[in-house]
Amino acid sequence: MTTYHQEGQMQLPRADAIRSRLIDTFSLIEHLQGLSQAVPRHTIRELLELLESTNTKLWPLKLTLEVATLFILFIFFLEILRKWLSNFSLFWKSGWNVFDFVVTMLVRIEILRVPLVG
Query: Would you state the pLDDT for residue 118?
Result: 45
Residue 28 is predicted with a pLDDT of 81
DSSP, collapsed to helix, strand or coil, labels residue 10 as: strand
> How confident is the model over 67-90, as a mean pLDDT?
90
Q: Interior CA angle at 54 toward 51 and 57, to 5°?
A: 75
The answer to whether residue 1 scores a pLDDT higher than 60 is no
Distance CA 112, CA 114 (A): 5
Question: Of the spans 55-59, 94-98, 105-109, which averages the highest pLDDT?
Answer: 94-98
Q: Which amino acid is at 90?
A: L
* pTM summary value: 0.49
Kindly state the percentage of the chain with pLDDT values over 90: 17
Q: What is the DSSP letter of 57?
A: G
